[in-house]
Amino acid sequence: MKRRLNYTGRIKLPVKCVSITLNVEDDEVKSFNADIDLVGYKLPSKAKVYVEVYHKTEFRRFDFGTVKKIRSNVDTDLSSIAYGYNLKFRLTVVDETGEHGLILAHADRVRPKSDVDKKEILPVEFRDIGQQVWKISYEDLEDAPVLILNNNIPDIKNLARKDPQFFVTVYPSVIKEVLMHMIFVRGVDSPSDPSTEWHKDWIIFAKSQLVGVEVPQVLDPDNDGFNGMEVAEWIQGVVEEFSESRSEWKSFIKKLDFGDES
């Protein structure tokens, strides 16, 4: 199991402590504004605050001053960045008083405001994945899931959006795989307040499907109280409720009855 140990007690900041707004001209990102709020995190006042922008091979770091005095007039020019789309941001607080800078706190995978508004828990991408219809790829620093659909399948984008058969057969399996991976492979540190952002999103989603059923108290297989059978049944419940709530079932059955004429 992949584990990341936190020996130094660095603080994982919630993404809400920084709000990013992109300045766009002619569909090109020119710069960004960052509204940073570190009040209440007990960070040393002299610690340095950086906002980092990254995507693919690109990485830029911007100095936003210190915890005590966050700068507002930072030159955040991004006009020469090679990949001006899907930019991700990271807020890092660093203690630079020692020989090497130590990371005291960070908020990762911060998305610009416009992206946050349309936040999706499972981004979809279309790629050549051989003879598989779909697969889940776990990406970025937090191994967040991305649904990959095979772009060799004719009209795949429409199928994924509208086809009842696709909804009935693919999506329940996708949900099951992501939840199984999240819990049995990665482990969720706190079901009520997961420190990993995408875990939080998926727990909220699972709860919204399985209303009235308590989330198992332990979702980390390394924890003594973990009950794999209970968790597997809970996941199955989420998947069943998701399937029950979809209206595509009738269309799917109808299609089987009448073939493509329906």
Partner 1 sequence: MIALRILTEEGVEKFHDYIQKVKSEPNAARPDLNAEPYSKKFHKTVGIEEGKTFRNRMEMAKYLKSRFELVKAEASEINDRGLWTWLAYIWFDQLCPLENGMRKVRETVRYICSSDFTDYYRHYVAITYVIFDVHKENNSRIFLYSPVNEHNDFIEQLASRQNIISNKNLVETATRLYLDPTSNTPKRGAQSRDRAGTLRRLIRMFDQIELTYDIRIMSADEILDLLPAEFNEWKRS
Stretch that binds partner 1, among 49-57, 114-122, 176-184, 238-246 (CB under 8 A): 49-57
Residues in region 6-25 near partner 1 by CB under 8 A: 6-8, 10
Q: Does 56 bind partner 1 (CB under 8 A)?
A: yes
Judged by CB under 8 A, the residue of 137, 150, 195, 209 near partner 1 is 137
- Select the residue interacting with partner 1 from 42, 46, 116, 141 (CB under 8 A): 141
As measured in angstroms, the least distance from the Cβ of 151 to partner 1 is 9
H/E segment holding residue 18? strand 18-25
Beta strands 144-150 and 124-127 are parallel
Interface with partner 1 includes 189 (CB under 8 A)? no
**Of 25, 27, 73, 82, the one binding partner 1 by CB under 8 A:** 82
Rounded CA-CA distance 100/8 in Å is 14
Closest CA to 104 of 180, 38, 43: 43
Q: Closest by alpha carbon to 16, among 87, 111, 94?
A: 111
Distance of closest approach, residue 201 Cβ to partner 1, in angstroms: 20
CA atoms within 13 A on the CB side of 36: 31
| CB 103 to partner 1: min, Å | 6
SS3 41: coil
The whole-angstrom separation of Cα 186 and Cα 180 is 9
Q: Check binding of 61 to partner 1 (CB under 8 A).
A: yes
Reference 132, options 164, 182, 170, 163; nearest CA is: 170
Residue 55 within binding range of partner 1, rule CB under 8 A: yes
Residue nearer to partner 1 on the CB measure, 7 or 258: 7
* Nearer Cβ to partner 1 (40/130): 130
Q: Taking CA 96 as the corner, what is the angle to CA 95 and CA 101, rounded to the nearest 5 degrees?
A: 85
Residue 45 contacts partner 1 per CB under 8 A: no
Given the complex with partner 1, which of 25 and 257 has the nearer CB atom? 25
Beta strands in 96-150 (DSSP E): 102-110, 124-127, 134-139, 144-150
Cβ 159 to partner 1, closest distance in Å? 18
Is residue 125 a contact residue for partner 1 (CB under 8 A)?
yes
- Evaluate whether 139 touches 146 at the Cβ level (below 8 Å): yes
Note the residues at the interface with partner 1 (CB under 8 A): 4-8, 10, 28, 52, 54-59, 61, 80-84, 92, 94, 96, 100-103, 125, 127-128, 130, 137, 139-141, 146
